[in-house]
């Protein structure tokens, strides 16, 4: 009950913002050479706890816009044609997973574009070559041994447009089916259940990648980088004080790292050898937020902060 009224409130707030901001952006895109929604998180800072995006990686900020409204935020790597992370506010899922309509972001190719994501053309019609240069396209994933793994999953949202908006390839990384349909899906479900049951206010989620020490690429084409691990963390400051004992470590923050390669060493995430073959080697290890930040710092080679003051309150 409480959660429902909260999520409808959450739905309403970004809506008001995006109407006014949409008008402003239209104006600013006429005045400035740089179009809306790329290069700056300021129109979508509401998707970050304390309006504070993670610190530690450089990339291209994308305020993810669909049907003229913002839905979440992504830090994108143009060189890797994959996101570093996506950040969103969790809302309780309703109904079944929407039909997949994959979209791309014209503004990565053409700065004059208005910043709304658009569906890929239906073959044989082809997407513009400038788009192919600037981001991942459907052909990158077709015939590869990887699935399109959402960082921001459609099943963490109430609003149908919030769900549809997750189907942009800028929110997607090459993810093994064993992870995507296995332990990583279980993590997403577990997070969803915990937040529904015990988070009373906003739950800010950030989900990202840990690259290989030496990059690997889809189909060895040097276009779309494959992550060695996925990570995810949430921050929910306002939570129920009736937490079961088993969940006292999961509030106000929680984090996890998941394997995307069964051949990775076991220093970061150990392997449970008793799993079914289809998901063997794709384990997810829950951990406290500071532990995640330590692993991110080691691989990225720079101090890494996911949430303002480690979600400790303002």
Ligand X SMILES: *[C@@H]1O[C@H](CO)[C@@H](O)[C@H](O)[C@H]1NC(C)=O
Determine, following the binding rule CB under 6 A, whether residue 242 of this chain makes contact with ligand X.
no
Taking the complex as a whole, how short is the minimal distance between the CB of residue 9 and ligand X, in angstroms?
Answer: 9
Determine, following the binding rule CB under 6 A, whether residue 201 of this chain makes contact with ligand X.
yes
Taking a C-beta distance cutoff of 8 angstroms, is the pair 91, 158 a contact? yes
Per-residue binder mask for ligand X (CB under 6 A), 211-240, x = binder: ---------------------------x--
Residues with Cβ within 8 Å of 184's Cβ and at least 6 positions away in sequence, in order, are 149, 175, 230, 258, 282, 284
Only segment of 63-71, 115-123, 251-259, 261-269 that touches ligand X (CB under 6 A): 261-269
Only segment of 44-52, 204-212, 223-231, 256-264 that touches ligand X (CB under 6 A): 256-264
Determine, following the binding rule CB under 6 A, whether residue 132 of this chain makes contact with ligand X.
no
Between 262 and 288, CB nearer to ligand X: 262
* Phi/psi of residue 125, nearest 5 degrees: -60, 140
Phi-psi region of 256 (alpha: psi -120 to 50; beta: other; left: phi over 0): beta
Residues 263-282 within binding reach of ligand X (CB under 6 A): 263
Alpha helices (H) along 242-313: 289-300
Task: By CB under 6 A, name the one of 1, 31, 122, 142 that touches ligand X.
Answer: 142
Sign, CA torsion 151/75/41/314: positive
Determine, following the binding rule CB under 6 A, whether residue 68 of this chain makes contact with ligand X.
no
Taking the complex as a whole, how short is the minimal distance between the CB of residue 200 and ligand X, in angstroms?
Answer: 4
E strands present in 81-194: 82-89, 103-104, 118-119, 147-150, 172-175
Alpha helices (H) along 110-232: 129-134, 138-141, 160-164, 177-180, 183-198
List residues near ligand X by CB under 6 A.
2, 6, 139, 142-143, 200-201, 238, 261-263
């Amino acid at each position: 009950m409480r959660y429902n009224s909260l999520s409808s409130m959450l739905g309403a707030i970004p809506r008001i913002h995006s109407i006014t901001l949409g008008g402003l952006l239209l104006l600013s895109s006429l005045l400035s050479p740089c179009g809306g929604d790329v290069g700056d998180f300021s129109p979508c800072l509401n998707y970050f706890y304390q309006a504070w995006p993670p610190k530690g990686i450089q990339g291209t900020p994308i305020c993810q816009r669909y049907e003229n409204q913002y839905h979440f935020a992504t830090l994108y790597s143009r060189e890797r044609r994959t996101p570093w992370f996506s950040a969103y506010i969790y809302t309780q899922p309703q109904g079944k997973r929407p039909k997949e309509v994959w979209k791309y972001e014209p503004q990565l190719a053409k700065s004059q574009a208005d910043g709304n994501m658009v569906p890929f053309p239906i073959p044989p019609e082809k997407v513009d070559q400038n788009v192919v240069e600037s981001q991942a396209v459907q052909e990158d994933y077709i015939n590869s041994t990887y699935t399109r793994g959402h960082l921001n999953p459609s099943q963490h949202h109430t609003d149908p447009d919030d769900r549809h908006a997750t189907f942009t390839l800028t929110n997607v990384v090459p993810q093994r089916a064993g992870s995507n349909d296995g332990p990583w899906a279980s993590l997403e479900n577990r997070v969803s259940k915990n937040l529904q049951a015990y988070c009373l206010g906003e739950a800010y989620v950030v989900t990202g990648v840990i690259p290989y020490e030496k990059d690997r690429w889809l189909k060895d084409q040097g276009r779309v980088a494959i992550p060695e691990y996925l990570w995810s963390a949430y921050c929910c400051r306002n939570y129920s004080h009736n937490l079961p004992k088993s969940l006292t470590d999961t509030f106000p923050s929680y984090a996890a790292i998941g394997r995307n390669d069964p051949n990775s060493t076991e220093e970061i995430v150990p392997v449970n050898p008793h799993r079914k073959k289809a998901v063997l080697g794709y384990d997810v290890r829950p951990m406290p937020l500071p532990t995640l930040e330590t692993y991110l710092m080691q691989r990225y080679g720079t101090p890494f902060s996911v949430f303002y003051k480690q979600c400790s309150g303002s």
